[in-house]
Structure 1
Amino acid sequence: MPIPSVPRRALLAVALCLGATAAWAETDVQATAPASNWKISAGPGVYVAPNFPGSRKSLVYPIPYQDIDYGGRFFSRGFDFLGVYAVNNDIWQVGADFQLDPTWRRSKDDHRLTGLGDVNMTVRARAFAQAQVSFVTFSADVAQDIGGQGQGLIANGDVLFSLPAGKWLFTLGPGVTWTNGKYMQTFFGVTADQSARSGLPTHAVQAGLREWHANGIVTYEISRNWSALASVTFARLQGDAASSPITERRQQWTTMGALTYRFR
C-alpha cells in the first residue's frame, strides 16, 4: 500500500482541521457531560496517491483514520501513531512522534525501474512545531528514517489559512519540502551500477529542495459525533528530483477522503 511522502503535508493539514472540528464538537458536549481526558475519533477513508515518487500513475486504496488525544499531551493521529506534546496551547503545539511512512517503490511497478532495487516502507522519528495566529497556522517538522530503509531525512514548512463557515471549515496553504542526500539518492539518484542494470542514464543528486506544494482541505461537521473531510495536495518536484530519469511527471496529485465518528 504505497503512500509517497508527498501526502505528508495533506495529513498534517487534515490533522489540524480534525482538531478544530473536534474542538467544535467538544464545546457542545461540555454543557451536558463531564469532561474527559480522552478524545477519540475514527473511521474509514480512501487515498489516491502516486504509485511512487515521480510516477505518472496513481493507486486508489482504503485506509483507516484515527484521531486520539489524551489530556492534550499524548496523541495518535493518522500515520503519526504515537506522539507527545511538549507544549500544547491555543497558540503553540510543539512535540515529537513516531510515524509510519509507507512510501515504497517496487521494480515491478514500472519496467523502467528494473535494476534499481526495491525501497521498503519505514518508520520515522519526527519533531514538529506549529503556531496559530488568528486564522493563520505556521508549521514545520523534521522526520528521520529510523527503520534503516535508506529514506533519509525530510523537512517540511507550511503556511495554512483557515476559514470556518458554520459547520464547514476550509483550509488552504502553500509549503515546501527539503530532503537530505540519502533520501534523494534512494528515490531519484541513479548510480553507475543501477544505470548498467536498468538502462537509465546515471543521475547524481544532492540534498536540497525536493518540491513546493499546495494543500486544500475541507471538513464538515455532520452531527455532534460524525464529521467528513476531504483533502487535495498538488506538488511540483524541483531540482534533482525533477530532472531525475526516474521521474515521469513533475506534477504530483494526492487526494484523501474520510468519514469519522467521535466516540468520546
Structure 2
Amino acid sequence: MAGTGLAFVSPGAMADDTLGLSQSLYALSGPEGGAAAAGASTPWRFSMGMGVVNMPKFPGASGTKWEAVPLVSASYDRFFVGANADAASLLSLGAYLYRDNNWRVGAAITYDFIEPRRESEDPRLNGLGDVKRTAHAEVFVVYTYQFVTARASVLTDIAGNDRGTVATFDVMGKYEPTAGLTLTAGPGLTWASSKYNETYFGVNSEQSARSGLPPFSAGSGLNEFRLSVGATYRFATHWNVGASITAAWLHGDATDSPVTEKTNQMTYGLFASYLF
C-alpha cells in the first residue's frame, strides 16, 4: 500500500486481540508493492489475498486454533481502507497525517475481524462469558532508518465493550539476502489498561461462582513481551508469499491470572497476496 512500504496487509491490537496475529502482520513488513511496484503513476493501491494463522484460542490459552483471514485493502494517496500493516489491522479506515522518507504518522478506526474470546472454545472459559468484538480508535507512528523500523501505537475501545486501552511498541530489522526475498525480525512489548486486563485475565465474583475459578483482579501494566520473525518473497511482479512466527511471553498480572494456562504464546502465519 502506498506509503506503508509493506508487502502484506492483513490482520489486531491487530486490534483483534489476537495481539499475536497483529504482530505477525507487522512482521511481514517488506518491500513496497502494488501499483508502485508495477511502475504505475497513480495514487491508488490495491491488494487482495488470503492467509491462514495458527494462534492461541484465547490470551493465556494452552490450546490453539486455526483461522483463515482475508488480505483485502485499498488506498488512495494518504487514505486507506481494509487491511493495513501500519495500523496492524484487517479492518481499518484511516489516513496518514504525516509522511516523509522516514516517518509515517496515522490515525484509524479499526474493528476486530476475529472474535477475541468465545466461552464455547475451551472448557476453562466456562462461566466467564464471551469477549465481544469492538471498534477501536488508533493512533500509530512508524519510523524507518535504513534497515530498521520502529512502530508505536495506542488503541482504545470506542464501542463500550470493556476492551480498554492497549499500547504497543515494536522494532523490526530488515534484510534482503537475494532479489525478491525480505527477512524481518525484532522484539516488541504491549502495555494494557486495567480494563483490558480485567476483561481478559480478571475473574469477578459472578464469574467465579459460575466457573469455579477463584476471584482475581488484574491491574494495568506491561502484559506481554514478544519476538516476531517474518519472510516475504516476491516471485512475480504482482505476487507475494510470506510466513511469520511470533513468540510472546505474558507478563505481570496476566501470568498470575487463574484464566491463564500457559504464559508463552506462539502464533504462526502463512500468507499470499496479489498487488495491483
2:4 corresponding residue in structure 1: none
Q: How much does 1:109 deviate?
A: 1.9
Uncovered stretches (5+) of structure 1, i.e. residues with no partner: none
1:203 and 2:213 are equivalent in the alignment: no
Asked if 2 retains the 8 angstrom alpha-carbon contact of 1:114 and 1:198, the reply is: yes
Q: Distance in 2 between matches of 1:116 and 1:213?
A: 27
Counterpart amino acid of residue 211 in structure 1: E
Asked if 1 retains the 8 angstrom alpha-carbon contact of 2:111 and 2:135, the reply is: yes
1:160 corresponding residue in structure 2: 172
Q: Do the aligned partners of residues 155 and 103 (structure 1) sit closer, same or farther apart at CA in structure 2, a change above 3 Å counting?
A: farther
2:111 corresponding residue in structure 1: 100
Counterpart amino acid of residue 207 in structure 2: Q
User: Within 5 Å, which residues of 2 pair with 1:205-220?
Assistant: 205-220=218-233
2:76 corresponding residue in structure 1: 70
Q: Do the aligned partners of residues 209 and 103 (structure 1) sit closer, same or farther apart at CA in structure 2, a change above 3 Å counting?
A: farther
**TM-score with structure 1 length normalisation?**
0.90
Counterpart amino acid of residue 135 in structure 1: F
2:141 corresponding residue in structure 1: 129
Q: Distance in 2 between matches of 1:218 and 1:74?
A: 24
2:162 corresponding residue in structure 1: 150
Q: Distance in 1 between matches of 2:255 and 2:22?
A: 19
1:42 corresponding residue in structure 2: 48
Counterpart amino acid of residue 128 in structure 1: F
- Bigger mean CA deviation after superposition, 206-215 or 253-262: 253-262
Q: How much does 1:128 deviate?
A: 0.3
The structure richer in helix per residue is 1
Q: How much does 1:80 deviate?
A: 4.2
Asked if 2 retains the 8 angstrom alpha-carbon contact of 1:85 and 1:93, the reply is: yes
1:233 and 2:246 are equivalent in the alignment: yes
1:184 corresponding residue in structure 2: 197
Asked if 1 retains the 8 angstrom alpha-carbon contact of 2:108 and 2:139, the reply is: yes
1:115 and 2:127 are equivalent in the alignment: yes
**TM-score with structure 2 length normalisation?**
0.86
Counterpart amino acid of residue 10 in structure 1: S
2:5 corresponding residue in structure 1: none
Uncovered stretches (5+) of structure 2, i.e. residues with no partner: 1-15, 85-89
User: RMSD of aligned C-alpha atoms?
Assistant: 1.8
Asked if 2 retains the 8 angstrom alpha-carbon contact of 1:104 and 1:119, the reply is: yes
Counterpart amino acid of residue 64 in structure 2: S
Runs of 4+ deviating beyond 4 Å:
none
Q: Distance in 2 between matches of 1:112 and 1:45?
A: 28
Q: Distance in 2 between matches of 1:195 and 1:74?
A: 43
Q: How many corresponding residue pairs?
A: 254
Structure of greater Rg: 1
Counterpart amino acid of residue 77 in structure 2: G
Q: Do the aligned partners of residues 226 and 147 (structure 1) sit closer, same or farther apart at CA in structure 2, a change above 3 Å counting?
A: same
Deviation digits for residues 170-189 of structure 1, max 9, x if unmatched? 00000000000000000000
Q: How much does 1:6 deviate?
A: 2.7
2:11 corresponding residue in structure 1: none
Q: Distance in 2 between matches of 1:208 and 1:228?
A: 36
SS in 2 for 1:7: helix
Q: Distance in 2 between matches of 1:3 and 1:206?
A: 18
1:6 and 2:20 are equivalent in the alignment: yes
Asked if 2 retains the 8 angstrom alpha-carbon contact of 1:76 and 1:83, the reply is: no
